Amino acid sequence: MRRAAFLEHVAWTGAGIAYSLGAGGLMAGRAVASASAQTVDFVQISDSHIGFHQAANPDVAGTLAMAVDAINALPSQPAFVVHCGDVTHLSTPAQFDDARAVLSRLRAPLIALPGEHDVLGNDFKPYLAAFKIPGSKPGGWSSWDAKGVHYVALVNVFDFEKMGMLGNDQLDWLAKDLVGVAPSVPVVVFTHAPLYALYPDWGWTTADGAAALALLRRFDRVTMLSGHIHQVLTHQDGNIVFASADSTAYPQPKPGTAAKPGPVTLPHDDLLHAIGYRTVRLGATPAFEDRALG
């Protein structure tokens, strides 16, 4: 990669720009990478938009395949790979087939949440046929325990005229699901759209996200990971560490820095530096490493 392009990318990732969000503040930019990470608990990918074919990325299947190859080459394989939604661009069966063809090459088990692009027409069937999470409820949400960690996958991509909703059924389920979990148990929550009001003007929020956050306050450590916004934003909110992830397809503008959200077209090398995957280690404090494809 040319140095000039690298510097341009540094400018793009733009650590240091702060957005106001409640008392905690919201930080933009990549989480600090820890190159010494030997073990990985799980890997997060998101927003592959299989079927997208515009200038911002003419080969979204190719860049997803690059991410899959990189994950498969990790020296320590993760327990699972979570895809935080928008696997497809237009939720057609053909796009789900193409996505499965690439993602089925992952060595680790895959858990794929739906994004709003995966349920167009409020039709859940193509997603469920391709990526239903084993044991999930009819609404698509689920929870499981592994190695002392309680994992929750939520669905907030229906009723999108309200900017994403969990709905009372899911919130009731979540309240019951968490009853038996001790406060000392680390909790990890996956969603597509952020539960925080990151930028409601662009739909980067969940209308009833605060109700879910309230249910998670009593735990010592909550890690909350989302996709949807095609960039890494991190936010510390008391016991909750939030981090959105890069896309595997194309970046979107930083909140409020463009007239509208949507695909940002970069030179190819810069694109590969603005998309990628995230490795996560859960320790006393969760460690994220956001790894670009180029």
Partner 1 sequence: MNRFFILVMAALLASGASAAAATTPQVVIRNDAFSPQTLTVTTGTSVAFVNRDDDAHTATAVDGSFDSKGIDTGGVWRHTFTKPGIYAYFCTLHPFMKATIVVKAAAQ
The minimum distance between CB 287 and partner 1, in angstroms, equals: 33
- 56 or 110, CB closer to partner 1? 56
The minimum distance between CB 239 and partner 1, in angstroms, equals: 30
Distances (CA, A) of 75 to 41, 72, 110, 281: 12, 8, 18, 14
Kindly report the backbone phi and psi dihedral angles of residue 262, in degrees, each rounded to the nearest multiple of 5, phi listed first: 135, 180
Q: β-strands 110-112, 80-83: how paired?
A: parallel
Of 24, 93, 53, 29, the closest CA to residue 237 belongs to 24
- 25 or 200, CB closer to partner 1? 200
- What is the CA angle 104-290-160, rounded to 5? 70
- 124 or 219, CB closer to partner 1? 124
The minimum distance between CB 220 and partner 1, in angstroms, equals: 35
- Judged by the rule CB under 8 A, the positions of this chain that interact with partner 1 are 52, 54-56, 89-92, 116-117, 120-123, 160-163, 201-203, 259-263
Whole-angstrom distance, CA of residue 4 vs CA of residue 11: 11
The minimum distance between CB 41 and partner 1, in angstroms, equals: 32
- 78 or 227, CB closer to partner 1? 227
Contact, 230 vs 214, CB < 8 A?
A: no
- 251 or 261, CB closer to partner 1? 261
